Amino acid sequence: MLIGAHVSVAAGFPQSIDYAETVGCEAIQVFAKSPQQWRAKPTSAETGAAFRDRRERSGIGFVCTHTAYLINLGSEDDALWERSWRALADELDRAALMGADATVTHTGTNRSGDLEAGARRIADGVRLALETAPAGVLLLENTAGAGSTFGTGPEELGAVLGILDVQWKERLGVCLDSCHAHAAGWDLSTPVGWHAFTTGLERCCGADRIGVVHANDSAYAAGQHRDRHAWVGAGTIGTAGFESMFADPRLSAAAAIVEMSGEVPEKDEINVKVLKALRARSTQR
């Protein structure tokens, strides 16, 4: 697994690669636009070219973008739903311009409680976004299962992919967030928990669909449905849990990305370093 962090582009897209290299990243995740706004100034061709060129001259082996938090592909409000899938298409276009390997998105809500209806609504939005944006791989991220959010586990993500895979399989996959899975009830502090979750993803979503792991520890115990990230090894997943992550063969081709709060560069230097040590320890066994 390549290891990296979500890094800021506040100083510029090419400069995000500079920062990533200083903290030891092998992979990165960035926001292609503000995550708190619907609209943003278009990414220029020059900016995209500069980012691609800087990446080519770096040791960064994987780049993904993360969509804005406002997107809700399961919304029952038709205006918000349309705005969401159009925003998703825009995110895919921006990622393609930057030469990103994938785009990660949350799926949204399902207030009906009907799995099939919720999956269909989300799948329809994803389909329209993929039709509008001609390039880019989209990874659907699991959630912590709080409230009416959709995508808590393998069955919900698999229901969406099952609708879309006939036409769009090559452009779709999964992002596994460890904190979210742990919060939703899979105890990832143990090899059994990791095996249960990744086996479920393989069964419901298909083999080799996990492109990214958001390798975040959890501040709360398994099953509490509280999405609060902790530094790697400092939460209830713990170092043993992340060793189990590296030992899981279903994750070997994924990129492990930390999404941590705290001061830069320490938060990224330390968490990337800890993951690299755990990866090395896992491969020695």
Q: What are the tens digits of pLDDT across the range 150-207?
A: 999 999 999 999 999 999 999 999 999 999 999 999 999 999 999 999 999 999 999 9
Q: 78-98 and 45-56 helices cross at what angle (nearest 10)?
A: 50
Alpha helices in the chain (DSSP H): 13-22, 45-56, 78-98, 115-132, 154-168, 178-184, 191-205, 238-247, 266-283
Q: 284 pLDDT band (50/70/90 cuts)?
A: confident
What mean pLDDT is predicted for residues 221-229?
Answer: 97
Inter-residue contact 173 to 209 (CB < 8 Å): yes
Among the residue ranges 10-24, 43-57, 176-190, 271-285, the one predicted with the least confidence is 271-285
Q: The domain that contains 142 carries what CATH number? A: 3.20.20.150
Kindly state the DSSP code that residue 188 receives in the 8-state scheme: T
Q: Average model confidence (pLDDT) for the chain?
A: 97
Chain length of the chain: 285
What 3-state class would DSSP assign to 113? coil
**Which pLDDT score, from 0 to 100, does residue 191 have?**
97
Amino acid at 105: T
Nearest CA to 102 out of 229, 14, 4, 206 is that of 4
Q: Would you say residue 285 has pLDDT above 90?
A: no
Nearest CA to 63 out of 260, 231, 265, 257 is that of 257
Domain total in the chain = 1
Inter-residue contact 181 to 188 (CB < 8 Å): yes
Long-range contacts of 43-52 (CB under 8 A, 24+ apart): 43/94, 43/97, 43/98, 45/97, 47/13, 47/97, 47/98, 48/13, 48/97, 48/98, 48/99, 50/13, 50/14, 51/13, 51/14, 51/16, 51/17, 51/98, 51/99, 52/98, 52/99
Nearest CA to 136 out of 173, 111, 189, 106 is that of 173
Q: Would you say residue 5 has pLDDT above 90?
A: yes
Lookup result for tokens 């990243």: 25
Per-residue tokens: 43:
């990414």
Domain membership of residue 110 as a residue range: 2-283
Percent share of the chain, pLDDT over 90? 97
**Which pLDDT score, from 0 to 100, does residue 126 have?**
98
Inter-residue contact 96 to 133 (CB < 8 Å): yes
**Which pLDDT score, from 0 to 100, does residue 243 have?**
97
Q: 283 pLDDT band (50/70/90 cuts)?
A: confident
Inter-residue contact 273 to 24 (CB < 8 Å): yes
Inter-residue contact 104 to 66 (CB < 8 Å): yes
